[in-house]
Amino acid sequence: MHGRKAIFNFALATAAAFFCWLLYRNISRYSPAEIVASLGAIPFDHLALSIAFAAVSYGCLTGFDAFGLIYAGKSLNYRKAALTSFVSLSIGHNIGLSALSSGAIRYRFYSRWGLTAEDVTKVVLFSGATVTVGLLSLCGWAMLMSASSAVVVGLERRAAFFIGMALLAVLALYLILCWQIRRPLTVRKWKVNLPSLPLAIVQLLLGTTNFAFICASLQQLLLAYQDVHYWEVSAVYAIANGMAIATHVPGGLGVLEATTQCLLPQAATIGAVIAFRCVYFFLPLPFGVLLLAISERVFRKDASKTNSVGPATPLSFASISRQIVRVAWVFSDRIT
């Protein structure tokens, strides 16, 4: 067990190092002045639309938590779910290991409202599944909708068509399983309760819509430099984001840039991708941190006025670490 874990960690570190090297090789072709100039060349209307599309994406992400709570069998005010979702994901996207980092912050919030670590784990699992079906859907439709998408990712049109159909067939199978199987699904030692068919359909719609708006955000920045088709951007982003999730690099740093540079190698692309990172990852971060700090203060005041919640634990690196371990333990217990 320890040997396999060491091999897995080594593989992740190797993949992260490879993408950092690939990013350096791609960016080193441009001087700092060229990168700054490319960022400054983005028109305001493209930047504003990119921010708007990113905001809609974060709105979709609140639905991940809202319906994840339904999957966990818990009833909670949508405003609380939305607050938890935005704070946890705006921070978790930048930390890396998003399931655990955002899961720890989710536990910080939800435990005060009566949820257990197992409940939070169910929300994290539901969100992770929604991300997966959304990526598969986006990539599948990108392969089917545009011949240029196949060219961008280095596939023949026929191969792209069959890949797209296969991905959509996997999603159809998932919906059928959710419709037909109501008992826990056991795969080796894993036991997973599939969502109901209505929840699975919501997963598919939410996940696809979320990534559709993310790609629209990226496309607006790329359009400032070159005429790039929406489905081309979708195919590239689906591949890049899949690699970022697999490597657990914080915020996918270097993975998105390197993949986009390889598949869309025009000179100004790097400026657009850096701007996208600022819009989607860095811009929400201070708002998430601010809301986390405000919520900590409010919770502590409420705890001091009533004994129903109990004494508040000050937010610290140690407390967040303990919560990561707690959620990770429950998560691993459910899938092993």
Q: Give the side-chain half-sphere CA count within 13 A for 331.
A: 19
Residue 28 has a pLDDT of 54
Residue 138 has a pLDDT of 92
Query: To the nearest 10°, the Cα dihedral for 235, 222, 154, 11?
Result: -70
What are residue 15's phi and psi, to 5 degrees? -65, -40
**Token output for 12:** 């992740």
Quote helix, strand, coil % in the chain, to nearest 5. 80, 0, 20
Residue 276's nearest CA partner among 233, 242, 235 is 233
Characterise 96 by phi-psi region: left (phi > 0), alpha (psi -120 to 50), beta (else): left
The H or E element that residue 273 is part of is helix 269-277
Total-model pTM = 0.77
Burial 141-179 (b: 16+ CB within 10 A, else e): bbbbebeebbebbebeeeebeebbeebbeebeebeeebe
Residues in the chain: 336
Local structure of residue 190 (DSSP, 8 states): E
pLDDT truncated to tens, each residue of the chain (336 aa)? Answer: 556 556 645 554 565 555 455 445 545 555 566 556 666 778 889 999 999 999 999 999 999 999 999 999 998 999 999 999 999 998 887 776 566 667 888 988 998 898 988 899 899 999 999 999 999 999 899 888 876 666 666 677 888 889 889 999 999 999 999 999 878 877 666 677 899 999 999 999 999 999 999 999 999 988 887 788 888 888 888 877 776 666 555 555 556 666 666 656 665 567 788 888 888 888 898 899 899 889 888 887 766 665 444 444 444 444 544 554 444 444 444 433
Domain ranges of the chain: 33-335
